[in-house]
Amino acid sequence: MKRYLVLETGDVFEGIGFGHEEESFGEVVFTTGMTGYQETLSDPSYFGQIITMTYPLIGNYGVNRDDFESIQPALSGMVVKELADYPSNFRSDYSLEELFSQKNIPGIQDIDTRRLTRILRIHGSLKGVFTKTGEALQLDIMLEKLARFELPKNQVESVSTKKAYPSPGRGQRVVLMDFGMKHGILRELNKRDCDVLVVPYNTTAKDILAMSPDGVMLSNGPGDPKDVPEAIETVRQLIGQIPVFGICLGHQLFALASGADTEKLTFGHRGANHPVKELKTGKTELTSQNHGYTVIPTSLEQTEIEVTHIALNDGSIEGLKHATHPVFTVQYHPEASPGPEDSNHLFDEFIDLMVKSEKGERQRA
């Protein structure tokens, strides 16, 4: 049945609805990953966003048990050119369409995603709405509703765990701050036998240090990093106390906590083949990315942080480290899922940093 996607610019796309049928508002963004739709739609960083998949055929290998990045997808909708009718893969348990219905995710297909992406590249990310499936379009009313719609400010709170929980191991003890964590991060720490305690986004530095960890991991998460001042304060207090590794939102929080500033990119970086250069070695890695905000280079001047990585597509900052303390962060996703695993070694570097830290020395003595 017919459904429309309306953008705040007044552009209208007619398509066919699938999944949840009610009206749905969000920030329309695009991702260029050719595969990995299951990981993408379950990445909590997409909270409140309508994701356009630029690859034209989606759902062709179905949905499997293993590739979820969270239990309850948080996105506001997905736009596809063509939804595969007959998924086929030895791991597939059911179709993408079934997942959308089961989890109440709104979808639209038969959309000219190339036209939509061109609009997003020109205007930047835009507010948009999926009309109720089967209902006639009332453009004026939709545009009025869109003008009134505001992107939510409590995004991290909505997707962070409410209670701390352990994921035991026999190695380094890591407190993982959950800002809307992709499970891939936890999997990478578990693979290295870390003894992980996942904690809510608003856990204080005092409480974290009282848990006596060897290091703190700052996860990815949705929204504007400036919307979580309590987390910025926690990170500020952790710097210099303990090794810290941050990913994506965690990277932006480290920058803000150090006195630097962030801003919104026009249309963001979302995809699975973004080249990133490490400045020290000149080596380039292909990375998985999903972010709309970035650290402002000139804002680093008065801080004690250094740029370690840059994006080759637009020169923006992709990695930072503290000049003297054991803290490093990346804007991209070393846990991949989806995407290349080139930068997986950063988790090993985090382990090394913890082992080398004072507490690690003490424990080995």
Catalytic positions:
248, 333, 335
Closest contact distance (angstroms) between CB of 248 and ligand GLN is 3
Closest contact distance (angstroms) between CB of 155 and ligand GLN is 8
Is there a binding annotation on residue 332? no
Distance CA 182, CA 165 (A): 15
Return the closest-CA partner of residue 265 out of 300, 308, 317.
317
Please give the single-letter amino acid code of residue 49.
Q
Nearer to ligand GLN, 267 or 293 (CB): 293
Closest contact distance (angstroms) between CB of 72 and ligand GLN is 17
Q: 74, exposed or middle or buried, with CB in 10 Å at 0-12, 13-18, 19+?
A: buried
* Residues paired with residue 24 on neighbouring β-strands, in sequence order: 130
DSSP code at position 298: G
Nearer to ligand GLN, 40 or 308 (CB): 40
Distance CA 58, CA 81 (A): 8
Pairing of strands 106-109, 77-79: parallel
Distances (CA, A) of 115 to 12, 34, 80, 209, 335: 11, 18, 12, 50, 31
Closest contact distance (angstroms) between CB of 270 and ligand GLN is 9
* Residues paired with residue 307 on neighbouring β-strands, in sequence order: 320
Is there a binding annotation on residue 221? yes
Tokens of 350: 């985090």
Is there a binding annotation on residue 293? yes
Please give the single-letter amino acid code of residue 4.
Y
Closest contact distance (angstroms) between CB of 30 and ligand GLN is 13
Is there a binding annotation on residue 45? yes
Length of the chain in terms of residues written: 365
Establish how many alpha carbons lie within 13 A of residue 358's alpha carbon, considering only the half-sphere containing its beta carbon: 6
Q: Strand 165-167's sheet: what is its strand order?
A: 165-167, 195-200, 173-178, 215-218, 244-247, 327-330, 317-322, 305-311, 262-278, 284-295
**Residue ranges binding ligand GLN (CB under 6 A):** 45, 220-223, 248-249, 290-293
Match 């739609």 to its residue by tokens.
Answer: 41
Nearer to ligand GLN, 18 or 47 (CB): 47
Closest contact distance (angstroms) between CB of 249 and ligand GLN is 4
Is there a binding annotation on residue 249? yes
Establish how many alpha carbons lie within 13 A of residue 197's alpha carbon, considering only the half-sphere containing its beta carbon: 18
Nearer to ligand GLN, 277 or 291 (CB): 291
Is there a binding annotation on residue 290? yes
Nearer to ligand GLN, 87 or 221 (CB): 221
Tokens of 126: 């835009």
Tokens of 147: 């003008």
Is there a binding annotation on residue 279? no
Nearer to ligand GLN, 290 or 308 (CB): 290
Annotated binding site for L-glutamine: 45, 221, 223, 249, 252, 290, 292-293
Q: Which residues are annotated as a binding site?
A: 45, 221, 223, 249, 252, 290, 292-293
